[in-house]
Amino acid sequence: MLKANNIEIRFNTRVLFENVNLEFKDDNCYGIIGANGAGKSTFLKILSGELEPTKGDVILGKGERLSVLKQNHNEFDEYTVLDTVIMGDYRLYKVMKEKNDLYMKEDFSMEDGMKVAELEEEFASLNGWQAESDIAVLLSGLGLKNDVLYKEMKELKDSEKVKVLLARAIFGNPDVLLLDEPTNGLDSKSIMWLEEYLINFKNTVLVVSHDRHFLNKVCTHMVDIDYGKITLFVGNYDFWYESSQLIQRQMKDSNKKKEDKIKELEDFIRRFSANASKSKQATSRKRSLEKIVLDEIKPSSRKYPYINFEIDKVLGKEGITLENVSYVVDGKTIIKDLNLNLTKSDKIVLIGTNEIAKTALLNIISGQIEPTSGTIKYGSTVKLSYYEKNHSKYFKDDSNLIEWLRNYSDNKDESFVRGFLGRMLFSGEESLKKVSVLSGGEKVRCMFSKVMLERGNVLLLDEPTNHLDIESITSLNEGLKRYDSALIISTFDQEIIESVGNRLIEIKSDGSYNDKQISYEEYIEKFGLDDIN
């Protein structure tokens, strides 16, 4: 059980939400929805105690334990996988560390001996001896091999990190589980595993997600953050969507009726207020007129950014040519003898689950890494723009949004930069906030501004829909349909694959690849996708 008591949070003058009074109960799964930047992650941070609200307090059931999966996946890079997961049960982790530190002591005293005995007892009561095997079972359920346990987190790829962090969150069966975008970076098999896990989970779950399918599958309730309010609905995402549409229609109808009534009353007053015999009636109608309140209809504060990738110069006949490109890491072949000729009309989608290979190929084409063998030739007109999947390095400094984007713009004029930010939905005071506080989706929108300013005629995009809300995904999709030059995109978004792509490349687990100019549906039917796990 988790209770939010009169919570309010404001940053400077902006109130994210206020008067939040909600209770989250056992055996329910609450899906938290809202636009990018609405305050979902902030709400979870308040509930977990990481962030102090401006007003109000949070109450956790007596003796209950809460655990969290955060949106940022790089927090534990310096720890081993085993420690990262055990730390999810912080009490157990502390007992274990304290105990081990005492054993390591050279001048081990009597007192230490007694303390160790106490700690051993507590360790056993917390199921400490079983922890390692429990963790191994959890990780293998998520498709990770046992040899991963003693690796450091920074050695893992992003999709593996998410799995470990997920295991950390659910380790030791917490009473309240908070998950911030858990499906981001997960493959479909692991998503299915997580869905089953959450459906069977007996305690309280709060999960932030932009994935409608996932929300429908696991949620019993929806929590919508919009207009500085947090509203609770019973039912899954589709049910919330339909009922909120219905409420809007009803409000519109009832407003229409009220407007008619107002007009009628106004007519009456106008006609008869000068007429002495009717003026009493007119006065009373004036009073009824004053009583009619039109319900304020707020469709949603969700907005569409304007994403449009323009080019500086047309890509000439010579695009990019890869000849026999191979890429090997630690003796494992990631890409094998890849040949590719990229021209202006190519809209290539990198499909399949081999994320490492897809990112490696984009890194090779963008020149960020060298292939192990093979050659790449660039035509003289080629101008690259690359949207990288892992872009946290761009947001480490202390600058505000205007200063940040100005770094990437030839035109340093403030009004020009502000115009660009406005299109990405940062206006007024919003453009003065520090880039370090941006939400996941807001960072992606900033990266898009950077890419748009580069005006490249070869666009490379690595999973650009991660973190984005539905409105931004739609805008991105439209922008990509309009883009009139060469494009390589790695994405799982079926709508984008089908409406943008005209050529599909899948790199398989052994590094070999398919390169086909057919529809996605046909591809799946003919070849299926290689199962990397």
Ligand X SMILES: Nc1ncnc2c1ncn2[C@@H]1O[C@H](COP(=O)(O)OP(=O)(O)OP(=O)(O)O)[C@@H](O)[C@H]1O
Which alpha helices (H) appear in 126-187, and where do they start and end?
128-141, 158-170
Closest to ligand X by CB, 96 or 230:
230
Does residue number 437 form part of the binding site for ligand X (CB under 6 A)?
yes
Give the dihedral sign, CA 146/152/158/164. positive
Q: Report whether 371 contacts 336 (CB < 8 A).
A: no
- Distance CA(184)–CA(155), nearest Å, equals 19
Whichever of 34 and 374 has its CB closer to Mg ion, that residue is 34
Give the one residue of 11, 90, 129, 150 binding ligand X; rule: CB under 6 A: 11
Query: Whose CB is nearest to ligand X?
Result: 441
Q: Is the Cβ of residue 225 or residue 325 nearer to ligand X in the bound state?
A: 225
Q: Please give the Cα distance from 163 to 17 (Å, whole number).
A: 31
| Residue whose CB is less far from ligand X, 331 or 428 | 428
Q: Which does 46 bind (CB under 5 to 8 A by kind): Mg ion, ligand X, none?
A: none
> In the complex, what is the shortest distance from the CB of residue 440 to Mg ion, in angstroms, rounded to a whole number?
5
Instruction: Tell me the residue ranges of DSSP E strands in 25-163.
Output: 29-33, 55-60, 66-69
CB of 44 to ligand X, least distance (A): 8
Taking the complex as a whole, the smallest distance from the CB of residue 212 to ligand X amounts, in Å, to: 14
Work out whether 433 is an interface residue with ligand X (CB under 6 A).
yes
C-beta separation of 212 from 236 below 8 A: no
Ranges of H-type helices in 49-80:
none
Report the site for Mg ion in 435-474 (rule: CB under 5 A): 439-440
Chain position whose Cβ is nearest to Mg ion: 41
Closest contact distance (angstroms) between CB of 9 and Mg ion is 14
Q: In whole angstroms, what is the distance from residue 240 CA to residue 245 CA?
A: 8
Shortest distance, position 476 Cβ to Mg ion, whole Å:
18
Strand partners, 320: 342, 378
- Judged by CB under 6 A, does residue 226 bind ligand X? no
Does residue 41 interact with Mg ion by CB under 5 A? yes
Q: According to DSSP H, which parts of 300-413 are helical?
A: 355-366, 401-406
Does 53 engage in binding with ligand X (CB under 6 A)?
no
CB nearer ligand X, residue 190 or residue 439: 439
Q: How far apart are CA 421 and CA 328, in angstroms?
A: 40
Q: Which among ligand X, Mg ion, none contacts residue 34 (Cβ within 5 to 8 A by kind)? A: ligand X
392-420: burial string, b at 16+ Cβ within 10 Å, e else: eebbeeeebbbebbbebeeeeeeeebbeb
37 binds, among Mg ion, ligand X, none (CB under 5 to 8 A by kind): ligand X
d(CA 287, CA 244): 33
From the CB of 226, what's the least distance to Mg ion, in Å?
Answer: 15
CB of 235 to ligand X, least distance (A): 21
Instruction: Give residue 281's Cα distance to chain centre.
Output: 60
- Binding segment for Mg ion (CB under 5 A), chosen from 14-22, 68-76, 128-136, 210-218, is 68-76
Say what the alpha-carbon torsion angle 330, 335, 338, 343 is, to the nearest 10 degrees: -120
464 binds ligand X (CB under 6 A): no
Site string for ligand X, 17-46 (x = CB under 6 A): -----------------x-xxxxxxx----
Strands 347-351 and 486-490: parallel
Q: Which parts of this chain interact with Mg ion (CB under 5 A)?
A: 41, 71, 439-440
Q: Which parts of this chain interact with ligand X (CB under 6 A)?
A: 11, 16, 34, 36-42, 71, 433, 437-442, 467
